[in-house]
Amino acid sequence: MMIPFEFEYYKPDTVEEAVEIYKRIYSSGKKVIYYGGGTEFISMARMNNMYADAVIDIKQIDECNEYQINDNVLTIGSATTLTKISELNQFPLLGLTVSRIADHTIQDKITLAGNILGSIIYKEAVLPLLVSDSEIILTGPSGTRNISLNKVFDKKLLLKDGEMLVKVNIDKRYLNLPYSHVKRTKNEKIDYPLITMVAIKDDNRLKIAFSGLCDYPFRSQNMEDVLNNPDITSEERIAKAIEKVPGNILNNISGSTEYRKFVLGLMLEEVFERLEVVQ
């Protein structure tokens, strides 16, 4: 099926060129988007669920394809595919997480930015980045921001008009900390999650993030505080943490709210055991 509308296509070589193109097109009153792997735009545009007058393809920009460890920081460009992240696997928690998103043929097209910024609610690739206190680089008409992901991710990545996600920086010390990834699905191994949970143990403290519980991914400081409270039993920590889920727990065809709470309790028990949390 063809895309049922015409649009302008640009493929800049630099971030600066991409932003200048955006400013010029946007100022003329046209709708313009940045384009990485393009899986969502193509599929949704074909169904008339997405429209743009122009797309700016960032796949040729060197910074957006960067993947290297330098000065104790792992840098991953926003146009890096899930397949490449999984195969290079410098950050095993991230590699494992993205390997469970879609199937292998689609993983080779989905980019890191595409998963984080897409309209699908799960955005599982963001979870390891939240628990590793990653820094992101955003560039747009108002300039460049190097900022903690946790400061600009609230249900979604809070971008200014015309900003693009350029790359992610992860402190090397997080790459080999003890970790756990637990994903539960209704049917197949590769499916949208009933719940996905990632956790790391950093200086004997759990850092933990979730997808599939609410209609957005999240890391909750309140839940972490309870789960790391040594003054109560593990059973009490888990029960109180479930009470502190920061939104309405989903109730849909994949599972009811009560079922998700039950599964979440089992998953937290599993993480406590895997990461040898003091009980």
Residue 135 has pLDDT above 60, yes or no: yes
Model pLDDT, residue 252 = 92
Model pLDDT, residue 38 = 67
Same topology between domain 62-174 and domain 179-274: no
Model pLDDT, residue 39 = 67
Model pLDDT, residue 50 = 73
Model pLDDT, residue 265 = 97
- Calpha distance 12→8 (Å, rounded): 13
- Calpha distance 25→56 (Å, rounded): 10
Domain ranges of the chain: 8-57, 62-174, 179-274
Looking at the domain covering 62-174, what would its CATH class be?
alpha beta
Share of the chain above pLDDT 90, in %: 78
pLDDT interval class at 21 (50, 70, 90): very high
* Tens digits of residue pLDDT in 138-159: 999 999 999 999 999 999 999 9
Residue 187 has pLDDT above 80, yes or no: no
Q: Is the model more confident about 37 or about 69?
A: 69
Burial 35-65 (b: 16+ CB within 10 A, else e): bbbbbbbeeebeeeebebbbbbbbbebebbb
* Tens digits of residue pLDDT in 24-60: 999 999 999 998 766 676 676 766 767 788 999 999 9
Model pLDDT, residue 119 = 86
The CATH superfamily label for domain 179-274 reads: CO dehydrogenase flavoprotein, C-terminal domain (3.30.390.50)
**What's the mean per-residue pLDDT of the chain?**
92
Report which listed range, 4-13, 187-196, 203-212, is most confident: 203-212
Residue 177 has pLDDT above 80, yes or no: yes
C-alpha pair distances (Å), 263 with each of 83, 97, 118, 213, 256:
29, 19, 26, 10, 11
pLDDT interval class at 192 (50, 70, 90): confident
